[in-house]
Structure 1
Amino acid sequence: MNILVTGGAGFIGRWVVKRLAEDNHRIWILDNLSNSSMNNLKDLQLIYPDITFIAGSITNNHLLESLFANKFNICYHLAASINVQDSIDDPKTTFENDVIGTFNVLEQCKLNKTKFVYMSTCMVYSKALNKEGISESHPTCPASPYAAAKLAGEQLALSYYYAYGLPVTILRPFNTYGPYQKQNSEGGVISIFINKKLMNETLSIYGDGSQTRDFLYVTDCADFVVEAGYSENTKGKVINAGSGFDISITELAKLIAGETGTIKYVTHIHPQSEIQKLLCDAGYSQKLLGWKPKVSLTHGISLTEEFLKHNADWR
């Protein structure tokens, strides 16, 4: 197939592109490199000849029009402003990228009858209330302009499904981690902690560390994203992906630091946007796709640490 991946040079995008390339598709990547790097793609471009990179923004309609002349079968839309604090400081930029940019891509998908797979986030949810975790019907709570923009993008995409019959799929992966994640990413706590450990530095925790997260290894996330795009069962659906296991940030820090590491607690940068408990109920994605995560948290941490030990560019 001909496939477009917006944001394909980013952390998750890189792994989605890798999986698609392994499946022998022709892939175009559109990325403005504001949250990503060409270093993420170097090894893939050497191995897979059918990857075309275009530097540019989803806010550029003329570029999108020319790009969609390639008649894509699927568009995986991962491009976005993703930093919560940036969205609080500068909501306009987040709105323009995550809402207006999404509208621009949707318009081209509608004109060209291209399936649209939208990467949303677990940050749209309110906190988990029980041990079963958060299902797709769980209440949403846009506690930041980033979460609000993602919810707006979801609703806009679904309106194209209902109004125009455009095949649309909405994905809400939980906290993804693994090799190639940026060290300054708010969601990259595992990579940040591992890097601090490798440098014999103190691991800093925002708040009291009791907040929990459901961590998903990046290859499991990429498999979920790709399979959701392939499937006919996902049209018009909102789908979670997570491990079904949450861990407090304090326990995570102890797991990574080990007995010899040190931990300290610091003032939270945006406590008003903190979700206290994130735990995924991924039963629906398992039912629709037969998808289950393969990499445990301890194994994923080990794989990420090995990567960071041998790749100084990401430390």
Structure 2
Amino acid sequence: MNILLTGGAGFIGRWVLKRLLEDGHHVWVLDDLSNGREANLAEFREHPGLKSFVKGSILNESVLSDLFIANKFDICYHLGASINVQDSIDDPRTTFNNDTVGTFYILEQCRRHDVKVVFMSTCMVYDRCMDEKGIDEAHPIKPASPYAGAKIAAENMVLSYYHAYGLPTVVIRPFNTYGPFQKTGGEGGVVAIFIKNKLAGKTLNIYGEGTQTRDLLYVEDCARFVAEAGYSDKVNGEIVNAGLGRDIAINDLALMIAGDASRIAHVEHIHPQSEIQKLLCDSSKAGRLLGWKPEVTLEEGIRRTEEWIRATNLI
């Protein structure tokens, strides 16, 4: 198939690109590099399936129009977004424009050219999990940050195009994804930051009490889920979760990575109002509709991520 992948130079986007190329598709990547890195695409530069990398914004309608007119896309995997919660609190306009308005521009092109949309949302739209059954797609949502609010608004637009126009669309909500190629700085994920600090001999700082839990999904499992959501008509018009199905307190995660409680410290939370105390995924719908289930354990995923950070000298 011919596929447009927005945000393809980002952390998850890079792995989705790898998966799509392995599956034999032709892929065009659109990324403005505000969060992604062109280096993430380096190993695919000579791959015959990577047709083009376009440095451009989803907010530039002329760039989008040219892409859609020139290439008959079958699917658009829309991962391009602002993803930082604190940034959305500090500067909600940028997040709203990128995540909501940008998604609208993508939808309009896909409607005109009859292209399926796979929209990458987030587990951050959910209210806290109250039990051990986990969060399914019917769980209450709570826009505790402008990031979550922008994603919910975009989700509603994506689903409206399914109901109003019959456009095949799907909203996917992966839980906290980690793995190789994730940034290890302040804007990275908790696993990458903890591993980097451990290897650099630094303290692992935890926001708040550290009792908050996360369901951590290894990035290759996530990429497989993203790809499969595009391939299957069974999820059209649906919202679908993906997660490990196991949550871990940040305190326990830090200890697992550091192996030494004296290396761990607690600091004041930078955005306590948008903290979700418990995140645990019920991804049974993905299993039922896509035959998807996670394959990489947390321990194995952390081992692979640490190995990559060591090998790339990101300390």
**Alpha carbons of 1:50 and 1:113: their partners in 2 closer, same or farther (altered >3 Å)?**
same
Partner Cα separation in structure 2 for residue 287 and residue 186 of structure 1: 34
Q: Is the 8 A contact 1:5 1:77 kept in 2?
A: yes
Partner Cα separation in structure 2 for residue 136 and residue 119 of structure 1: 14
1:201 aligned onto 2:202: yes
The alignment covers a number of residue pairs equal to: 314
Q: Is the 8 A contact 2:25 2:49 kept in 1?
A: no
| 1:231-278 residue CA offsets vs partner (Å, 9 max, x unmatched) | 010100000000110000000000000137600000000000000000
Partner Cα separation in structure 1 for residue 48 and residue 219 of structure 2: 20
The offset of 1:50, in angstroms, is 2.9
Structure 2 equivalent of residue 274 of structure 1: 275
| 1:49-85 residue CA offsets vs partner (Å, 9 max, x unmatched) | 5341000000000000000020100000000010001
Partner Cα separation in structure 2 for residue 22 and residue 80 of structure 1: 24
Structure 1 equivalent of residue 135 of structure 2: 134
**Alpha carbons of 1:149 and 1:260: their partners in 2 closer, same or farther (altered >3 Å)?**
closer
1:8 aligned onto 2:8: yes
Partner Cα separation in structure 2 for residue 156 and residue 63 of structure 1: 21
Identity %: 59
1:89-238 to 2 correspondences below 5 Å: 89-184=90-185, 186=187, 188-238=189-239
Q: Secondary structure at the match of 1:52?
A: strand
The offset of 1:185, in angstroms, is 5.1
Q: Is the 8 A contact 1:197 1:261 kept in 2?
A: no
2:80 aligned partner, one-letter code: A
1:304 aligned partner, one-letter code: T
**Alpha carbons of 1:261 and 1:299: their partners in 2 closer, same or farther (altered >3 Å)?**
farther
| 1:96-139 residue CA offsets vs partner (Å, 9 max, x unmatched) | 11111000000000000000000000000000010001000000
Q: Is the 8 A contact 1:6 1:76 kept in 2?
A: yes
Structure 2 equivalent of residue 55 of structure 1: 55
Structure 2 equivalent of residue 304 of structure 1: 305
Q: Secondary structure at the match of 1:243?
A: coil
Partner Cα separation in structure 2 for residue 136 and residue 180 of structure 1: 28
Partner Cα separation in structure 1 for residue 188 and residue 55 of structure 2: 25
Deviates more, 1:45-54 or 1:243-252: 45-54
The offset of 1:16, in angstroms, is 0.2
- Structure 2-normalised TM-score? 0.98
Runs of 5+ in structure 1 lacking a partner?
none
1:19 aligned onto 2:52: no
Q: Is the 8 A contact 2:24 2:49 kept in 1?
A: no
Q: Is the 8 A contact 1:88 1:144 kept in 2?
A: yes
Q: Structure 1 stretches (4+) deviating beyond 6 angstroms?
A: none
1:103 aligned partner, one-letter code: F
Q: Is the 8 A contact 1:161 1:236 kept in 2?
A: yes
Partner Cα separation in structure 2 for residue 133 and residue 260 of structure 1: 29
The offset of 1:45, in angstroms, is 1.6
Structure 2 equivalent of residue 34 of structure 1: 34
The offset of 1:186, in angstroms, is 4.8
The offset of 1:187, in angstroms, is 5.7
**Alpha carbons of 1:202 and 1:185: their partners in 2 closer, same or farther (altered >3 Å)?**
closer
The offset of 1:44, in angstroms, is 1.7
1:73-84 to 2 correspondences below 5 Å: 73-84=74-85
The offset of 1:37, in angstroms, is 0.3
- Structure 1-normalised TM-score? 0.98
Q: Secondary structure at the match of 2:44?
A: helix
Runs of 5+ in structure 2 lacking a partner?
none
Q: Is the 8 A contact 1:120 1:154 kept in 2?
A: yes
Structure 1 equivalent of residue 292 of structure 2: 291
Deviates more, 1:45-54 or 1:65-74: 45-54
Q: Is the 8 A contact 2:217 2:244 kept in 1?
A: yes
Partner Cα separation in structure 1 for residue 160 and residue 28 of structure 2: 26
2:66 aligned partner, one-letter code: S
1:160 aligned partner, one-letter code: Y
Q: Is the 8 A contact 1:194 1:305 kept in 2?
A: yes
**Alpha carbons of 1:30 and 1:261: their partners in 2 closer, same or farther (altered >3 Å)?**
farther
**Alpha carbons of 1:120 and 1:262: their partners in 2 closer, same or farther (altered >3 Å)?**
same
Q: Secondary structure at the match of 1:255?
A: helix
